[in-house]
Amino acid sequence: MRKVDYEKLLNNILSTKKIIILHYDKNLNLIYFSEHAKLVFDNIKMNSYISDIFSQNEIGDYHRVLNTGLTADRIIKINNVFYKSEINPFFDEKNNVAGILELLELIDEKYRLSNEIKSTHIYAHTESEIDINITVNNGTIYTLDSIITNDNHMRHLINLAHKASESNSPVLIYGETGTGKELFAQGIHNASKENRNNMFVAQNCAAIPETLLESLLFGTTEGSFTGAKDKPGLFEIAEGGTIYLDEINSMDIHLQAKLLRVLQENTFMRIGDKKVKKANVRIIASFNEEPFAVIKKGNFRRDLYYRLNVIYIKIPSLRERPHDIELLTNYFIKIYNKKFNKNILAIENEAMKLLKGINWDGNVRELKNNIERIMIFSEGNIIRSEDIHNFMIKEGIKLCEVSNSAALDKDLDNFIFEEYDNNKTFNEIVESIEINIIKNALNESNGNVALASRKLGLPRQTLKNKIVKYNIKPIY
């Protein structure tokens, strides 16, 4: 019977699978490498120290594995090619860490991009104030349990979201800016037994131009346009999971037609490609404007709306659920006590009355930002009404309206007079006033261009053009 060379057989298998094995002793000297490593690493040889193979800033994970006995994973780039690295502890007969066994596996662009999205969300979760214990390996940081409410209608919507998670049908969410649309979208994804182990990928449709959004969603093929490379789109990255299209009402009407075909046929093609790909992904979309108003203006296709609107969730504004203001305020106080190492014990009744009397155009996000600001500057361990007066930034805040309305008119007169007094031309005066008005609208909208454009009564694109023209960088 012919003797089998198992090492040669193993090397052939590893080479076919494009997997490399590297074995280091406890001093991180290389004591074994598989045959395929010679094709990837230049001048690799036995007894090489780890820093001869990888750069100094890449070897921290190896020391952690030696010290903790725990496996580490990472994505690394070797000669412009990406590999998934699994760094495993190697134990001796006494169960002590005696070295490291590293597996390097060649990965495609789709895997790399999905890993980057996961890493971004993991970092966001680490830096977040949200005090919840959930998995973030699928690109999310929220579940439906993350929704803070005592409102009966909100509880009804949470139950509806749980039922929605049992199917793979499209979901359309409508709510004003800051009401928590993505929180519901991520919650539905994480409640789904079918989707939650795969990627949740979110894209704001108002954030980038139409041509870039198309390539981002569907991917590109090399040569389809100047500089184009073979690159998967979000529909491929989110395969088996969920793609969340935020502010879909801002999507160009021509791109809407392509998205409609995806919903109808469950297929798509990369830009410049002739190969049809299966769209195995759930679509959740959101409007930040009333859907039928957008359709009536001719800015959104009626047929696409009905395709998306299989399951419809309308999130109420914060002013429609005022009882949640106190609950959310106390929740944010708890969060920022921890973040800022503060010891705010309570908020006095008069201060809470002031908060409940505010319109909250920016909804929960605006409340959260203001509580953060108040806690940064307030002294003592109780938030008082004077803290609200001193540190709130709010258009039309009721506590300021009566006392400051005359002063506001006077300030505007003074502003125009000062501009005129500086011997500026008429156009320069108008531009100065316009810049200030736009800055104020953006600051009051927490930088949200869509909300600012509605406040000003300007088309979104007109406002964007003016922001670029005047190089406006708001502080909010």
The one-letter amino acid at 122: I
Position 476 confidence tier, pLDDT thresholds 50, 70, 90: very low
Q: Does residue 119 or residue 362 have the better pLDDT?
A: 362
The one-letter amino acid at 349: N
CATH 3.40.50.2300 fits 113-316, yes or no: no
| Choice among 94-108, 275-289, 312-326 with the minimum mean pLDDT | 94-108
pLDDT for 377 beyond 90: no
CATH topology of domain 6-107: Beta-Lactamase (3.30.450)
338: phi then psi, degrees, rounded to nearest 5: -70, -45
Average pLDDT estimate for 286-301 = 94
Dihedral over Cα of 111, 112, 113, 118: its sign:
positive
CATH 1.10.10 fits 408-470, yes or no: yes
C-alpha distance from residue 19 to each of 13, 62, 149, 464 (Å): 8, 19, 50, 49
Beta bridge partners of 24: 30, 100
C-alpha distance from residue 369 to each of 168, 176, 318, 332 (Å): 35, 16, 14, 9
What is the reported pLDDT for 11? 62
% of the chain residues with pLDDT over 70: 80
Separation of alpha carbons 57 and 74, rounded Å: 13
| Choice among 58-67, 71-80, 129-138, 145-154 with the minimum mean pLDDT | 129-138
What is the reported pLDDT for 474? 52
What is the reported pLDDT for 237? 85
Position 157 confidence tier, pLDDT thresholds 50, 70, 90: very high
Average pLDDT estimate for 143-162 = 94
pLDDT for 217 beyond 50: yes
What is the reported pLDDT for 209? 81
Position 133 confidence tier, pLDDT thresholds 50, 70, 90: very low
pTM over 0.75? The answer is no
Q: How many CB atoms lie within 10 A of CB 420?
A: 11
% of the chain residues with pLDDT over 90: 34
Separation of alpha carbons 175 and 364, rounded Å: 12
List, in order, residues 6 or more apart from 440 with CB less than 8 Å away. Answer: none
351-338-353 Cα angle (round to 5): 10
**Residues 15-27: pLDDT tens digits?**
565 688 889 998 9
Cβ(48)–Cβ(29) below 8 Å: yes
pLDDT for 175 beyond 80: yes
What is the reported pLDDT for 317? 95
341: phi then psi, degrees, rounded to nearest 5: 55, 45
Separation of alpha carbons 176 and 289, rounded Å: 7
Cβ(373)–Cβ(335) below 8 Å: no
Domain boundary assignment for the chain: 6-107, 113-316, 330-391, 408-470
Q: Does residue 393 or residue 158 have the better pLDDT?
A: 158
Separation of alpha carbons 307 and 258, rounded Å: 13
What is the reported pLDDT for 412? 45
For 330-391, CATH gives: 1.10.8.60
What is the reported pLDDT for 67? 86
Q: What is the DSSP letter of 437?
A: H
**Residues 20-66: pLDDT tens digits?**
888 999 899 999 888 878 888 877 889 888 888 887 767 888 888 88
What is the reported pLDDT for 64? 85
**Residues 226-270: pLDDT tens digits?**
666 778 888 988 888 999 999 999 999 999 999 999 999 999 988
- Most confident residue range from 117-126, 185-194, 371-380: 185-194
Position 110 confidence tier, pLDDT thresholds 50, 70, 90: low
**Residues 397-446: pLDDT tens digits?**
434 343 333 334 444 444 444 444 456 666 677 778 888 888 888 887 77
The residue count of the chain comes to 476
pLDDT for 79 beyond 80: no
Separation of alpha carbons 22 and 40, rounded Å: 12
